[in-house]
Amino acid sequence: MKSFLNDIKRNPGIYILMIPVLAFFIIFAYVPMGGIIMAFQNYTPKGGFFHSDFVGFKHFTDFFGSIYFGRLIGNTLAISILNLIFGFPAPIIFALLLNEVGNKAFKKTVQTVSYLPYFISLVIVCGLVADFTASDGPVTDLIASLGGERINYLGQPQYFRTIYILSDMWQGLGFSSIIYLAALAGIDQELYEAAALDGANRWRQTIHVTLPGIASTIIILLILRMGTMFSVGYEKIILLYSTNTYETADVISSYVYRKGLQEFNYSYSAAVGLFNSVINTVLLVFSNKMSSRFSDTSLF
């Protein structure tokens, strides 16, 4: 404790800068955790936390026995796994390709263009996706010219996940590559020179120098991604899905939104949300444990 107080005296400016960050997490992350008690109550705004009936694990058992349980888990896992398989490597590959570009003007232009979709409002992005995949949209026109069907692809359950993943990749590709580009910039250039002297071409340099140089960054981001496997964002889902596509589009977060904000079933939605958070925590701890066992990189 004494050393901590001495460190505060030596670096007061740093600790002052920490105050807003700590306040943010305390107010918006830790204080709301008290609302978890709703998951074990029949909560009503009139009764509040202290006068609502305690029902124990009733809402959890109702959810596990619901006809929607299997569909929600399956859809959430399917979208998350597809996003992990295709969406996670995409920024890495993009960063590696950009790293090989020698023309600085062209490189900066490509980077700027690739970053722009990330800053477009999600509502606008979903509107563009809906218009482009409509029966008379540009994407549908292209598919029809290649011999495909002229239908509203977003309204077809079998195409929803593909459209969701592709639009997600398009929007986040450039921005997600920033951290990999930063990691690539930190690789010692003498390693490339040594590899070139040993006769390694660009491909072998990438395999034996570049990828090992950013491996720790990739592992950390992969662990963080594993911790959000069950947290498919409801915002984009509810903007894109419809009753026709619930079969493949309805996920846990969108179900919580409907139950909590549309049906005002606060306790049930809190129980489902708590279940979701617990599973994410388990996946995070498990993936971190596996990483620390098979590599030298881990979060904790």
User: What is the pLDDT at residue 288?
Assistant: 92
Q: Is the pLDDT of residue 4 over 80?
A: no
User: What is the pLDDT at residue 239?
Assistant: 92
User: What is the pLDDT at residue 13?
Assistant: 85
Q: Which residue has the higher pLDDT, 77 or 233?
A: 77
**Terminus-to-terminus CA distance in the chain, angstroms?**
23
Give the whole-angstrom CA distance, residue 271 versus residue 277. Answer: 10
User: What is the pLDDT at residue 295?
Assistant: 84
User: What is the pLDDT at residue 32?
Assistant: 85
Question: DSSP assignment, residue 242?
Answer: -
Helix 157-176 × helix 89-99 angle, to 10°: 40
Residue 30 dihedral angles phi and psi, to the nearest 5°? -90, -45
Q: How is 138-195 classified by DSSP, letter by letter?
A: HHHHHHHHTT---S-GGGSHHHHHHHHHHHHHHHHHHHHTHHHHHHHHTS-HHHHHHH
Q: What is the mean pLDDT of the chain?
A: 90
User: What is the pLDDT at residue 267?
Assistant: 92
Give the pLDDT mean for 179-185: 91
Residue 220, C-beta contacts closer than 8 angstroms, at least 6 positions apart: 297, 299
Q: Which residue has the higher pLDDT, 34 or 64?
A: 64
User: What is the pLDDT at residue 74?
Assistant: 94
Q: Which of 8-22, 128-142, 158-172 has the lowest mean pLDDT?
A: 8-22
User: What is the pLDDT at residue 113?
Assistant: 92
Tokens 């398009």 found at:
170
Q: What is the pLDDT of residues 192-208, one digit of tens each?
A: 888 888 888 888 998 98
Confidence at 29, pLDDT banded by 50, 70, 90: confident
Q: Which of 58-62, 76-80, 163-167, 259-263 has the lowest mean pLDDT?
A: 259-263
Q: Which residue has the higher pLDDT, 258 or 12?
A: 258
Give the whole-angstrom CA distance, residue 88 versus residue 81. Answer: 10
Percent of the chain whose pLDDT exceeds 70: 100
Q: Is the pLDDT of residue 81 over 80?
A: yes
Percent of the chain whose pLDDT exceeds 90: 57
Q: What number of other Cβ atoms are within 10 A of residue 105's Cβ?
A: 8
User: What is the pLDDT at residue 188?
Assistant: 87
